Structure 1
């Protein structure tokens, strides 16, 4: 058995990969290639060095009235991989603390949201910031007034990425926030 460990400097690619893992990876392949141990409680057991800690969870959804299975795989306090129990595929990679890889070759954990907002428009929902292609205000030829293009439903979203910041509030409300988690995912995660 080889010990598949994360590449703490790998690039972060929205909707595709991070830490040397690609979304869509098979859970049984992950198990075959890692040193791991199963834990009994969600984030309550101590994090061990150089070994994956795995928590398998059944979650009942009261809206759909179905039980969903997930496997959460933790590497130290830096990476969480989430596999879907339905198809056994990697659907989410969450990056924290000591992860050093960069998003768009320049953004990393600990950077300010302002650095990200220079290149992307940010929308805030459910404690996360989502990225949109930046659009400049347009001039309304009838009124002569500038208007913002903030109809988010018609905007070009950067799919498969969400950013958590140090304050649980929108960038528009508080500019001086640090990036504390970068989360890439597939549509199945939503």
Structure 2
């Protein structure tokens, strides 16, 4: 039987797929095709297992009275899938250390953010950078739906130009 194994070299396609896994996948489809183990928060965060998905079900009330109902599936801390606990659909894919694919064929984990400063403006919100097409592009003003986290938690600037990409997250347009 073939098991669902992420392709750690596959390019990242915003709003579509990463690691060869498509956003919108149903959690039952994941369970039927993946070798996985249900774990608690402590084991999930330490992520010592190799060649198996660690699955954490999170259903809790936050202090500001908002419920979180999500299912997290992690592969060696390189790929983390987030399923909506109600719809059971894959809504986010986070890629971290160990992932070798590139966002738009240009940026990957460990790269300097400024590799693309000639082609994109940087939009910064909530500790994450987003790429915005520049004025000379046919897609001027459009923001690429991918969150980029770096070793800084501040906006890119000449003063903070040596930012290294630590993670990239893609998501469905509804989240």
TM-score clears 0.5: yes
Task: Name which one, 1 or 2, has greater alpha-carbon Rg.
Answer: 1
User: 1:144: which partner in 2?
Assistant: none
Aligned pairs, number: 170
User: 1:53: which partner in 2?
Assistant: 54
Cα distance in 1 for partners of 2:55, 2:174 equals: 20
Contact 2:47 2:54 in 1 (8 A): no
Give the one of 146, 155, 162 matched to 1:176: 162
In the TM superposition, residue 61 of structure 1 has moved relative to its aligned partner by: 5.2
> Which runs of 5 or more structure 1 residues have no equivalent in the other structure?
137-153
User: TM-score, normalization: structure 2?
Assistant: 0.89
SS of residue in 1 equivalent to 2:28: helix
Contact 2:149 2:167 in 1 (8 A): yes
Q: CA RMSD in A?
A: 1.9
Is structure 2 residue 126 aligned with structure 1 residue 126? yes
Runs of 4+ in structure 1 deviating by more than 6 angstroms, as ranges, are none
- CA 1:133–1:162 in structure 2 vs 1: closer, same or farther (change >3 Å)? same
Contact 1:59 1:68 in 2 (8 A): yes
User: 1:167: which partner in 2?
Assistant: 152
> Which runs of 5 or more structure 2 residues have no equivalent in the other structure?
none
User: 1:5: which partner in 2?
Assistant: 5
**C-alpha offsets along residues 64-97 of structure 1, whole Å, 9 cap, x if unaligned?**
x552310000000211000001210000010011
